[in-house]
């Protein structure tokens, strides 16, 4: 959905990104560092990480800039279903000289069940977890149809995170770096962000996600919705951390 090079570049251009998103980036990064430190301490070894949706390699870039935390990473694999992102990421990884333990792979998370490695952490960042929309979602006609998508279930989301959970070593964690919280205030902020990037919003207050004509799609979540989607995981394995004081975004850690 995001494999248009110009659209990808705009989505990473800080001039087009709202302050809410910019500050959520740093809030999730701080919490992710804590999670890496805690998992490494728990397993008494550097952690292996799979990043679903590596984007422009922002996370390994900033992790590698802090030796104390980068030393706690054994290796870091990133996947993305946009070739433009994979190319940007691998260029950045090579530029930083971290290709000895970091790589970006062209891979669709929907096929995660076929991934062969195991990890101590499987992560998504910058709201990637909300991007897993039904394959038949009608971007071109959704607004005009007047029909509303029922997200009582989201088979793609559940399938991806079931596979991610299966890829974890004992004691490992899924870390959903940032999830939009499902409320009207967050919806309006999402719409503002997409419009700032020059996109046309096709959803409204009756939807629990925001989508654009440009094929961008991002869901909002409640704790109860995540418990329902991931009902194969005990609820006491979940840990929720707010990333702000205004009910916009949260980090979700799920321990195996």
Q: The CATH number of the domain where 169 resides is what? A: 3.40.50.150
Rounded Cα–Cα distance for residues 36 and 53 (Å): 18
Task: Tell me what the pLDDT averaged over the chain comes to.
Answer: 94
pLDDT at 4 over 80: no
Q: Note the pLDDT of residue 6.
A: 53
CA 72 to chain centroid: 21
Give me the residue label for tokens 């694999």.
Answer: 77
Q: Which whole number is the average pLDDT over 21-28? A: 93
**What is d(CA 19, CA 17) in angstroms, rounded to the nearest whole number?**
7
Q: Please write the tens of the pLDDT for every residue from 113-164.
A: 999 999 999 999 999 999 999 999 999 999 999 999 999 999 999 999 999 9
Q: What is the DSSP letter of 149?
A: -
Residue 90, SS3 per DSSP: helix
Residue 197 has pLDDT above 90, yes or no: no
Number of domains in the chain: 1
Percentage with pLDDT > 70 across the chain:
95
Q: Which of 153, 104, 123, 138 is nearest to 217 (CA)?
A: 138
Reduced to 3 states (helix: H, G, I; strand: E, B; else coil), residue 132 is coil
- Confidence at residue 8, expressed as pLDDT on a 0 to 100 scale: 56
Residue 11's pLDDT is: 60
Give the residue-averaged pLDDT of 183-187.
98
Check residue 15 and give its pLDDT. 73
Domain extent, residue 42, equals 5-255
Q: Is the pLDDT of residue 7 over 60?
A: no
Distance separating alpha carbons of residues 42 and 153, to the nearest angstrom: 34
CB 172 within 8 A of CB 256: yes
At 224-239, the pLDDT tens digits run 999 999 999 999 999 9
State in Å, rounded, how far the first CA of the chain is from the last one.
Answer: 31
Residue 16: per-residue pLDDT: 76
List all residues 6 or more positions away from 180 whose beta carbon is below 8 Å from its beta carbon: 127, 130, 186, 190, 218, 219, 220, 221, 248, 249
What's the token pair of residue 175? 């870390």
The pLDDT value recorded for residue 183 is 98
What tokens does 106 get? Answer: 């062209």
What gap in Å lies between CA 90 and CA 241, rounded to an integer? 31
């Amino acid at each position: 959905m995001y494999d248009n090079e110009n659209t990808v570049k705009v989505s990473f251009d800080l001039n087009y990104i709202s302050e809410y998103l910019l500050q959520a980036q740093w809030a999730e990064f701080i919490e992710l560092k804590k999670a890496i430190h805690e998992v490494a301490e728990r397993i008494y070894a550097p952690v292996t990480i799979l990043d679903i949706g590596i984007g422009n390699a922002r996370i390994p870039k900033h992790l590698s800039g802090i030796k104390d935390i980068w030393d706690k990473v054994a290796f870091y694999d990133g996947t993305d279903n946009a070739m433009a992102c994979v190319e940007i990421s691998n260029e950045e990884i090579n530029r930083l000289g971290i290709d000895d333990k970091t790589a970006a792979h062209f891979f669709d998370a929907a096929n995660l069940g076929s991934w062969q490695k195991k990890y101590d952490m499987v992560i998504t960042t910058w709201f990637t977890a909300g991007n897993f929309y039904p394959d038949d979602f009608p971007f071109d006609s959704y607004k005009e149809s007047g029909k509303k998508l029922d997200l009582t279930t989201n088979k793609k989301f559940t399938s991806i995170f079931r596979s991610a959970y299966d890829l974890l070593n004992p004691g490992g964690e899924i870390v959903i770096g940032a999830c939009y919280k499902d409320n009207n205030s967050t919806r309006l902020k999402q719409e503002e962000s997409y419009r700032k990037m020059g996109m046309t919003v096709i959803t409204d207050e009756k939807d629990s996600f925001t989508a654009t004509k440009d094929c961008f799609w991002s869901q909002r979540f409640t704790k109860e919705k995540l418990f329902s989607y991931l009902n194969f995981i005990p609820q006491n394995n979940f840990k929720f951390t707010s990333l702000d004081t205004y009910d916009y975004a949260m980090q979700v850690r799920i321990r195996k």
